């Protein structure tokens, strides 16, 4: 298959759509976990070509979106400290916390820098030894290995003014929390391709063995997504619950063992707060004792005010599939990408941003 066109081939897509219609003979509720899948599904209009009884719900697969106000407020508080430079990926800049955002802090004169890699943050620290550089670590297993590599390099070179605020989260266990949510009643998962390139297949095995929930890892092109939906429909029709890989060109069943080794050397599991879900044990990552000196909360202690939520924002409900973006009364009204109320409208992987950009819901 020509990788430049094959996964968007209209004839192949049409055959998969027919196969889905032939297979999905009863109502089915599927959740795409990954924010990139949500964007692809909206961009290519895939919901509109599926049977009416096949529901695709967007899940908590946007790392910026699931970051709690508590953690966002901590990041903002770092920016307010004297002689501190905050380095962050661009998606975090406009995310509103309880009372401000990193973008607003930068406008007020704080030193907040957008970086494209944690190695850029290392370079900032090396170039300004009189300032503490705090990198805001937000992301899933996809981004953690590179951040672990940056921490290792800082340790090896004795860089004393670089640290990381770890707001990372890991995906598999969180899916168990969603399965147990009776309000959503998820029957199957479209599993994230990017995360799965790192962790492989085995960490999801419990979904099939303990909960009898079929799951398929797939890629991000239209044919990828349609193949994943068809494979899930087939499992449900046959009464099976397996963990399968449609994205074989990108995912090895064992994952990336080098990246996993590096991640596990530097980080260890901890509890984490997920927006809309709450605290899920063992789904966060903190620095192991050997690297604890690079924990930003130890290097630059901060005490933000207690967090508060915007009472009108339903981003949390959207993230667990209980509410569709256009069902929020703020969607495309008070809340737009230019003036976001919640992170689901900010991030390039946010469900609300996807619906706003690629559908007519809520627009006059």
In tens, the pLDDT along 111-133 reads: 999 999 999 999 999 999 999 99
CB 230 within 8 A of CB 268: no
Backbone angles phi, psi at 86, to 5 degrees: -100, 130
If asked whether residues 207 and 107 sit together in one domain, one would say no
Q: What is the CATH number of the domain that holds 275?
A: 3.40.50.11740
Q: Are residues 284 and 335 in the same domain?
A: no
Domain tally, the chain: 3
208: burial class by Cβ within 10 Å (0-12, 13-18, 19+)? middle
Same domain, 147 and 271: yes
Q: For residue 311, what pLDDT is reported?
A: 86
19, part of any domain: yes
- Say if 78 falls within a structural domain: yes
Pair (192, 50) in one structural domain: yes
Is the pLDDT at 104 greater than 60? The verdict is yes
Clarify whether residues 289 and 330 are in a common domain. no
Q: Please tell me whether residues 57 and 117 are part of one structural domain.
A: no
Q: Are residues 328 and 352 in the same domain?
A: yes
Task: Specify whether 92 is located in the same domain as 147.
Answer: yes
Chain segment 318-340, per-residue pLDDT in tens = 999 999 999 999 999 999 998 99
Average pLDDT, the chain: 95
Kindly state whether residues 232 and 329 are assigned to the same domain: no
Same domain, 129 and 233: no
Strands 112-114 and 28-32: what pairing?
unpaired
CATH number for the domain spanning 30: value is 3.40.50.11750
Q: 279 and 136, same structural domain?
A: yes
Q: For the segment 133-186, what is each residue's pLDDT rounded down to a tens digit?
A: 999 999 999 999 999 999 999 999 999 999 999 999 999 999 999 999 888 899
Residue-number span of the structural domain to which 264 is assigned: 66-170+255-299
Q: pLDDT-based confidence at 360, cuts 50/70/90?
A: confident
Q: What percent of the chain has pLDDT over 90?
A: 93
pTM over 0.85: yes
Task: Give the pLDDT of residue 364.
Answer: 47
């Amino acid at each position: 298959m020509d990788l430049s066109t094959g996964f968007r081939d209209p004839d192949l897509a049409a055959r998969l759509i027919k196969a889905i219609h032939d297979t999905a003979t009863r109502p089915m509720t599927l959740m795409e976990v990954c924010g990139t899948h949500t964007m692809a599904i909206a961009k290519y209009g895939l919901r509109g070509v599926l049977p009416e009884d096949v529901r695709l719900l967007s899940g908590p697969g946007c790392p910026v979106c699931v970051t709690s106000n508590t953690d966002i407020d901590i990041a903002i508080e770092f920016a307010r400290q004297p002689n501190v430079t905050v380095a962050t990926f661009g998606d975090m800049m406009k995310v509103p916390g309880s009372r401000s955002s990193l973008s607003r802090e930068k406008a007020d004169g704080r030193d907040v820098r957008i970086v494209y890699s944690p190695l850029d943050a290392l370079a900032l620290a090396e170039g300004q030894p009189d300032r503490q550089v705090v990198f805001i670590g937000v992301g899933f297993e996809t981004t953690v290995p590179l951040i672990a590599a940056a921490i290792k390099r800082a340790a090896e070179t004795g860089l004393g003014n670089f640290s990381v605020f770890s707001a990372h989260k890991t995906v598999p266990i969180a899916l168990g929390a969603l399965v147990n949510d009776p309000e959503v009643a998820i029957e199957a998962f479209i599993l994230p391709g990017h995360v799965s390139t790192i962790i492989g297949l085995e960490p999801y095995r419990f979904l099939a063995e303990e909960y009898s929930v079929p799951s398929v890892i797939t890629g991000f092109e239209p044919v990828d997504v349609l193949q994943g939906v068809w494979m899930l429909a087939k499992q449900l029709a046959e009464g099976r619950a397996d963990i399968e890989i449609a994205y074989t060109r990108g995912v090895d069943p064992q994952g990336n063992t080098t990246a996993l080794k590096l991640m596990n050397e530097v980080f260890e599991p901890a509890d984490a707060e997920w927006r809309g879900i709450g605290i899920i044990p063992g789904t966060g990552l903190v620095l192991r004792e050997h690297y604890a000196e690079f924990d930003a909360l130890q290097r630059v202690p901060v005490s933000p005010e207690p967090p508060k939520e915007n009472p009108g924002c339903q981003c949390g409900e959207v993230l667990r599939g209980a509410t569709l973006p256009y069902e929020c009364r703020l969607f495309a009204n008070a809340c737009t990408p230019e003036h976001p109320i919640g992170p689901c409208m900010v991030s390039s992987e946010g469900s609300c941003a996807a619906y706003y950009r690629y559908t007519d819901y809520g627009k006059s």
